[in-house]
């Protein structure tokens, strides 16, 4: 028997891990497997966390923290802090108010929500509830005409950036989800894709119609020609791809392995982040996601070259546990942990966070 969402947060809920337990009691088993699972043996999923544990921080003492701030400017906009929400599909599977609850929680904490292509709420309705303009995550669809219309629609709705996901032209085989026989529940759908001509499902991988239409670099150039929004490429792990992306003129990169959900045995995003930062030498802002569960994880990412981070599963744990309040509280916990971590490493602003923060 599933529990209803909480109407108040119990006082013992103090960390993101506490939210995971609360969420599990409120989400149907197949949907839970979809949320938690990753591809293959889930080696990359585990590595995303373990790699953070191997990195140690260096505390500093007796520093002036009177002007401390987490503010930053990214793509010409000011943000109160560097904690962004990663795109995740179908929020109505986790709470009846879906993305509308997520965006309210994000707004309460001055956080930017990246809305998935597979969102279960119309983009205009989400943007209308936001105080920070949401970003829109785009999967370039086999139907390029529909894709172009969608880009125009999200720009007109008032989104602040287009996040093009590059690492999932095919879904990874997520065995946990397969074993649980996950299906998107009836009545929930990717409403922003309504009316699109779908590619017929196929048992084959090679030779399928889907494979014939996977996006290539020149699609990115085409996309950039369609929009005035910053185009951010999500799902870059190999530093060579980061260099190509910079040459292609993207505005930013999200260093990400999709939370371990695409190719298994890929290194942790936090491990490759400094290599990409070294190759690009500050040419573009970098964001990263994968395994962020603590403010100290965020500080490590900032120290190793990220301007901001994205958080995936824990935001959904907050949503499932307590709707907008849960989302806001997850973000609040992370922000408080981040501020304490920055202060205890003797830094007052994000500009002062560099590799010397790492032990
Ligand atoms: C349930 C779920 C759905 C996701 N849906 C999308 C999506 O629609 N588009 C996308 O680019 N990434 C998607 N992702 C990947 C996330 O954006 C992000 O890269 C990943 O969750 C980060 O790792 P974390 O969950 O450890 O924070 C999804 C991840 C999860 C867990
Ligand atoms: C069942 C459709 C899934 C849409 C894609 C969402 C995604 O990227 C994910 O990782 O899941």
Q: Which CATH number do you get for residue 161?
A: 3.20.20.70
Q: What is the pLDDT of residue 37?
A: 98
Instruction: Please report whether residue 59 resides in a domain.
Output: no
Q: What is the pLDDT of residue 105?
A: 98
Sign of CA dihedral 326, 328, 329, 333: positive
E strand intervals along the chain: 72-74, 77-79, 83-85, 114-115, 135-138, 162-165, 231-236, 252-255, 286-289, 308-311
Q: Are the beta carbons of 85 and 305 closer than 8 angstroms?
A: no
The span from the CA of 319 to the CA of 348, in Å, is 31
Instruction: Please report whether residue 61 resides in a domain.
Output: no
Question: For the chain, how long is the longest CA-to-CA vector?
Answer: 64
Instruction: Please report whether residue 6 resides in a domain.
Output: no
Q: Which domain holds residue 34?
A: 16-45+72-197+206-339
* Helix, strand or coil, per DSSP, at residue 176: helix
Dump pLDDT digits (tens) for 13-28: 999 999 999 999 999 9
The span from the CA of 210 to the CA of 242, in Å, is 25
Instruction: Please report whether residue 357 resides in a domain.
Output: no
Q: Are the beta carbons of 93 and 120 closer than 8 angstroms?
A: yes
147 is in an annotated binding site: no
**Ligand in closest contact with the CA of 260:** 1
Instruction: Please report whether residue 7 resides in a domain.
Output: no
Instruction: Please report whether residue 239 resides in a domain.
Output: yes
In 3D space, the residue among 16, 12, 100, 1 whose CA is nearest the CA of residue 296 turns out to be 16
Q: Are the beta carbons of 118 and 90 closer than 8 angstroms?
A: yes
Q: What is the pLDDT of residue 198?
A: 87
Tell me the CA–centroid distance for residue 178 and ligand 1, in Å: 17
Q: Are the beta carbons of 151 and 231 closer than 8 angstroms?
A: no
The span from the CA of 344 to the CA of 341, in Å, is 5
Q: What is the pLDDT of residue 15?
A: 98
What is the CA angle 342-348-352, rounded to 5? 85
Q: Which residues of the chain have pLDDT under 50?
A: none
User: What does the CA dihedral 312, 317, 323, 328 come to, rounded to 10 degrees?
Assistant: -60
Count of structural domains, the chain: 1
Packing angle, helices 313-344 and 29-36, rounded to 10: 40
Instruction: Please report whether residue 295 resides in a domain.
Output: yes
Q: What is the pLDDT of residue 201?
A: 85
Ligand 1 within 6 A of 116 CB? yes
State the ipTM, two decimals. 0.98
Ligand 2 within 6 A of 6 CB? no
Instruction: Please report whether residue 9 resides in a domain.
Output: no
Ligand 1 within 6 A of 259 CB? yes
């Amino acid at each position: 028997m599933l529990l209803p969402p909480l109407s108040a947060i119990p006082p013992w809920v103090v960390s993101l891990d506490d939210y995971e337990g609360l969420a599990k009691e409120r989400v149907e088993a197949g949907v839970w497997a979809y949320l938690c699972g990753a591809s293959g043996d889930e080696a990359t999923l585990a590595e995303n966390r373990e790699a953070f544990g191997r990195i140690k921080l260096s505390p500093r003492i007796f520093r002036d923290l009177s002007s401390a701030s987490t503010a930053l400017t990214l793509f010409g906009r000011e943000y109160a802090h560097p904690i962004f929400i990663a795109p995740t599909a179908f929020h109505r599977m986790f709470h009846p108010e879906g993305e509308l609850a997520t965006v309210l929680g994000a707004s309460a904490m001055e956080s930017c929500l990246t809305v998935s292509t597979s969102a279960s709420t119309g983009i205009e309705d989400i943007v209308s509830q936001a105080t920070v303009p949401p970003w829109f995550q785009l999967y370039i669809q086999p139907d390029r005409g529909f894709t172009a219309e969608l880009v125009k629609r999200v720009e007109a709705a008032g989104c602040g950036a287009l996040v093009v996901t590059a690492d999932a032209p095919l879904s990874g085989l997520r065995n946990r989800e397969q074993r649980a026989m996950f299906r998107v529940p009836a009545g929930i759908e990717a409403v922003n894709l309504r009316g699109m001509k779908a590619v017929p499902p196929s048992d084959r991988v090679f030779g399928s119609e889907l494979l014939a239409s996977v996006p290539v670099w020149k699609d990115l150039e085409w996309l950039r020609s369609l929009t005035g929004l910053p185009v951010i490429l999500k799902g870059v792990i190999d530093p060579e791809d980061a260099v190509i992306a910079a040459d292609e003129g993207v505005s930013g990169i999200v260093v990400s392995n999709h939370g371990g959900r695409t190719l298994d045995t890929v290194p942790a995003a936090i491990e490759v982040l400094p290599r990409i930062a070294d190759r690009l030498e500050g040419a573009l802002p970098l964001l990263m996601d994968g395994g962020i569960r603590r403010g100290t994880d965020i500080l490590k990412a900032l120290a190793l070259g990220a301007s901001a981070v994205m958080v995936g599963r824990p935001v959904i744990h907050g949503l499932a546990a307590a709707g907008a309040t849960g989302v806001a509280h997850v973000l609040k916990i992370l922000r408080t942990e981040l501020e304490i971590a920055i202060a205890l490493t003797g830094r007052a602003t994000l500009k002062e966070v560099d590799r010397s923060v790492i032990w």
